[in-house]
Amino acid sequence: MRDEQPVRQSLTEAAIVFAGWTAFALITTYQTSIQLALRPATGGSQLRWPLLASNLVDAYLWAFATLAAFWLARRFPIERDRILHAILVHGSAGVAIVLLRFGAFAEIVRYSGWLGNTSFELLFWTRLNQNVVFYVLLIGVAHATLYYQRYRERERAAERLAAGLAVARLQALKMQLQPHFLFNTLHAISALIPADAQPARRMVARLGDLLRISLDHEETPEVTLRDELAFLEPYLEIEQARLGDRLTVAMDIDPDALDARVPHLMLQPLVENAVRHGISPRIEPGTVRISAARSTSGVLEIEVRDDGPGVERDAHASARKGVGLSNIRTRLEQLYGNEHRFELRTHPEGGAVVRITLPLAFTR
């Protein structure tokens, strides 16, 4: 369907051009017939068919010239950065088109005998000015049409952009409202839990802490590693309450790296991915190890590892590489470009490991 649209537009344009020039030929013939009818020597007001035929031939040759001028205008528009080149192209093309068009017209009418014994030279010099003026007008109309089409395209693009911006704003408002709604709902649920159900109340409270921290830093692209680990605490407490002795979390954090800047909400999806795919599906206990250290080469190395089945052996390997990790990859690319590394693989000793290398930077 997309391939058919340009062809349909070209055929529509050609039909309009030929219809316009046909109307021009009919009007010209009618006016000339009226003028001839007013002269006694012409023998009345009868329409002269040779005149109509010659005018139609002339008009249709101009129709082909019009389509050629429109194509040239689109291919070589007269614009500020290449005006001399465009003028040279249109000038050369104009001379060629005028000569070819007039030569074809002269040969047709001379062969048909519609205009009697009128010589080629007489026809050429009497119609030269008209041919030049017509071609210049055609180039002007072609450029006016081109500029109008560009203007309409920019208007449509602006309308699409405005519509997309409105949708994005609505989505942003929804994303802002939903966490606040959940945060308030959690407080309401916590108030309804009996006082003797302390574990349930604590889990709801920790989930509320998780939402509150995310709302407090929703527009912050980077935080310190210390803050990121503090944000991770309520999530880990919830998972340990849910999984009990099946989950052990081991941390090996270099104290010199605690003030380094890292993307906000980076560790939680990594740890969630490890718990979900490396620990939850198993009956036996498992361990998630989180490490961060400054390297001698001046970068920050962060690693999240589980002792589950690993990436290649995971029955849900595609899910392990799903939305959460894709989101982190995209954010790292936007924040650090080629200065970062992201690696997800199976550890030689078993389990999956995500290793991220970031440029080392500290909060001032």
Is the pLDDT reported for residue 259 higher than 50? yes
Question: Is residue 156 within 8 Å of 181, Cβ to Cβ?
Answer: no
pLDDT at residue 348, rounded to an integer: 86
Residues 144 and 26 in one domain: yes
Residues 217 and 329 in one domain: yes
pLDDT band of residue 1 (cuts 50, 70, 90) is very low
The Cβ of residue 77 has, within 10 Å, a number of other Cβ atoms equal to 16
Residues 153 and 243 in one domain: no
Give per-residue pLDDT as tens, 164-208. 666 666 555 555 545 555 655 665 666 656 666 667 777 777 777
Q: Are strands 247-253 and 286-294 parallel, antiparallel or unpaired?
A: parallel
CATH of the domain at 333: 3.30.565.10
Measure the CA–CA gap between 10 and 17, rounded to whole angstroms.
11
Q: How many domains is the chain partitioned into structurally?
A: 2
Measure the CA–CA gap between 271 and 273, rounded to whole angstroms.
5
Concatenate the DSSP letters of all residues of 66-123 into one string: HHHHHHHHHHS---GGGHHHHHHHHHHHHHHHHHHHHHHHHHHHHHHTTTTT--HHHH
Residues 216 and 354 in one domain: yes
For residue 23, the one-letter residue type is: A
Q: Of 146, 164, 182, which residue sits at a domain end?
A: 164
Residue 253 falls inside a structural domain: yes
Question: Is residue 327 within 8 Å of 264, Cβ to Cβ?
Answer: no
Which ranges constitute the DSSP H helices of the chain?
4-37, 49-75, 83-112, 120-192, 198-216, 225-243, 267-274, 317-320, 323-336
Domain extent for 117: 4-164
Q: Give me the mean pLDDT over the 223-236 stretch.
A: 88
Residues 9 and 103 in one domain: yes
Q: For residue 193, what is the DSSP state?
A: S
Q: Of 164, 185, 201, which residue sits at a domain end?
A: 164
Residues 205 and 153 in one domain: no
Residues 96 and 242 in one domain: no
- If residue 317 lies in a helix (H) or strand (E), which one and from where to where? helix 317-320
Residues 51 and 143 in one domain: yes
Residue 176 falls inside a structural domain: no
Residues 252 and 127 in one domain: no
Q: Of 112, 145, 164, which residue sits at a domain end?
A: 164
Residue 185 falls inside a structural domain: no
pLDDT band of residue 19 (cuts 50, 70, 90) is confident
Residues 159 and 241 in one domain: no
The Cα angle at residue 88 between residues 86 and 91, in degrees rounded to 5: 105
Structure token digits, residue 192 = 């309804």
Residue 172 falls inside a structural domain: no
Residues 140 and 266 in one domain: no
Residue 181 falls inside a structural domain: no
Residue 345 falls inside a structural domain: yes
- If residue 253 lies in a helix (H) or strand (E), which one and from where to where? strand 247-253
Residues 121 and 246 in one domain: no
0.75 surpassed by pTM: no
Give per-residue pLDDT as tens, 100-142. 776 677 667 666 665 555 555 656 666 666 667 777 777 777 7
Measure the CA–CA gap between 117 and 113, rounded to whole angstroms.
7
Residue 229 falls inside a structural domain: yes
pLDDT at residue 258, rounded to an integer: 92
Residue 171 falls inside a structural domain: no
User: What percent of the chain clears pLDDT 70, i.e. is strictly above it?
Assistant: 68
